[in-house]
Amino acid sequence: MNNLLVTGGCGFIGSNFIRYLLNQSDFSGRIVNLDKLTYAGNPQSLGDVEHNFPDHYQLEAVDLCDQRGIAKVFKQNDIDAICHFAAESHVDRSINSPGEFIQSNIVGTYNLLEQARALGDKLKRFHHVSTDEVFGSLGETGFFTETTSYSPNSPYSASKASSDHLVRAYHETYGLPVTISNCSNNYGPFHFPEKLIPLVILKAINGETLPVYGDGKHVRDWLYVEDHCSAIWQIIANGEDGETYNVGGRNEKTNLSVVETICSKLDEKLGQLPSGPRKDLIEFVKDRPGHDRRYAIDCSKIEKDLGWTPAESFETGLDQTIDWYLENMAWVDSIKSGEYQTWITKQYGS
């Protein structure tokens, strides 16, 4: 793989993946990062990468819905492999503005597949990164496997399910060398502050109210982002064409327990607030529509077939995540103030 296209590489998981891959001894190629630079895409998250790997990294500010723009990137950069992260991904936003999710996640994936198909035998791998949310909601027991039927319950998960089906269909119909991964909830450095863990960390640091949907007993399996990156690279390098791999952290937690753990760790690191322990800031709010009760991933296939296992427990991963936010408040301030968007406009005209 001489020229790997990474879509959405300025986002949370994408930026971590690019950094991870360029530090791997078994990757000597070049990464072209294609990113629309929406509100959740921040090139500043890869400032160290641009500095440390100038000959192996390039950013192209292009929308996946721009067919001509994508074609130009493919032609100019001699692309021979693709890792597709780019997607609108926030469930709450999909409820309020579903049209954006249809365009980015379905139409954008179609456009990318068409460019990949035009490469013919030159294409070595098309890896599509998806989510466990396409499977819907579990009861109190059981796990999602690679053969679990799709049953998405939000516009976001429905759009991702659609893109999964498109990728699989292009393998069956046109013979594209595709792989798909469905992951559980990620957390770690550079996570946009609208998501649960960074939102709670930052609000708890400042002593703000910590909103928790419903009764707080919704269960998620949590996966440290670098563990996810290592799984994706294993799939790209060694996965079997046409196969799907579930990637999970084996860390099932209720949303309430996640929030309480963050509060406890911040109390240990920073001391309690003058008003008392941070868990007193928790406030239960009206549940969101279509809120899935439980997700849990069975990742035994990738463990058995590719030898991958997560390196971090929830405790060790969360400690690293909290420490990263405490040490990188300048990045946080740039996000919260909108300063990064001004910088993007000046640099890239987005």
**Is residue 261 pLDDT above 60, yes or no?**
yes
Active site residue 66: no
Query: What is the DSSP pairing of strand 219-224 with strand 252-254?
Result: antiparallel
pLDDT band at 283 (very low <50, low <70, confident <90, very high): very high
What pLDDT is recorded for position 345?
77
Active-site annotation holds for 133: yes
Per-residue pLDDT, averaged over 137-166, amounts to: 95
Torsion of CA 70, 71, 76, 81, to 10 degrees: 70
Kindly provide the b/e burial profile for residues 120-155, where b requires at least 16 CB atoms within 10 angstroms of the residue's own CB: eeebebbbbbbbbbbbbbbeeeebbebebeeebbbb
For residues 291 and 214, give the distance between their C-alpha atoms in angstroms, rounded to a whole number: 9
Tell me the C-alpha distance between 108 and 197, whole Å.
28
Q: How far apart are CA 97 and CA 320, in angstroms?
A: 33
Instruction: Give the Å distances, CA to CA, from 305 to 43, 238, 243, 301, 337.
Output: 35, 9, 11, 6, 45
Which segments within the chain are labelled E, that is strand? 3-7, 30-35, 57-61, 81-84, 125-131, 178-183, 185-187, 210-213, 219-224, 244-247, 252-254, 282-285
Q: Which two tokens stand for residue 335?
A: 């996000």
Contacts of 208 (CB under 8 A, 6+ apart): 281
Domains in the chain, CATH or no CATH each: 3-188+224-248+294-313+329-348 (3.40.50.720)
Mean pLDDT of the chain: 95
Residue 348 clears pLDDT 90, i.e. is over it: no
pLDDT, tens digit (0-9, with 9 covering 90-100), for 161-178? 999 999 999 999 999 999
Sign of CA dihedral 218, 221, 222, 225: negative
Burial class (CB in 10 A: 0-12, 13-18, 19+), 79: buried
* Cα 115 from Cα 227, distance rounded (Å): 30
Tell me what pLDDT residue 1 has.
85
SS3 for 291?
coil
Residue % of the chain over a pLDDT of 90:
88
Q: Residue 350 pLDDT > 60, yes or no?
A: no
- Helix, strand, coil percentages (3-state) for the chain, rounded to 5, are 50, 20, 35
pLDDT confidence of residue 40: 82
> Does residue 349 register a pLDDT over 80?
no
Give 194 or 170, the one with higher predicted confidence: 170
Asked if the model's pLDDT at residue 336 lies above 90, the reply is no
CB of 117 closer than 8 Å to CB of 170: yes
Catalytic position from the list 88, 133, 227, 260: 133
pLDDT of residue 341: 76
Examine the pLDDT at 160 and tell me if it is beyond 80.
yes
pLDDT digits (tens, 9 = 90+) for 77-114: 999 999 999 999 888 889 999 999 999 999 999 999 99
Spatial separation of the C-alpha atoms in residues 250 and 184, rounded to whole Å: 9
For residue 187, indicate whether it is catalytic.
no
Q: Report how far residue 226's alpha carbon sits from residue 266's, in angstroms, rounded to the nearest whole number.
A: 22
Distance, in Å, from the CA atom of 142 to the CA atom of 245, rounded to the nearest integer, reads 17
Per-residue confidence (pLDDT) for residue 38, from 0 to 100: 87
Instruction: pLDDT band for 242, please (50, 70, 90 cuts).
Output: very high
pTM metric for this prediction: 0.94
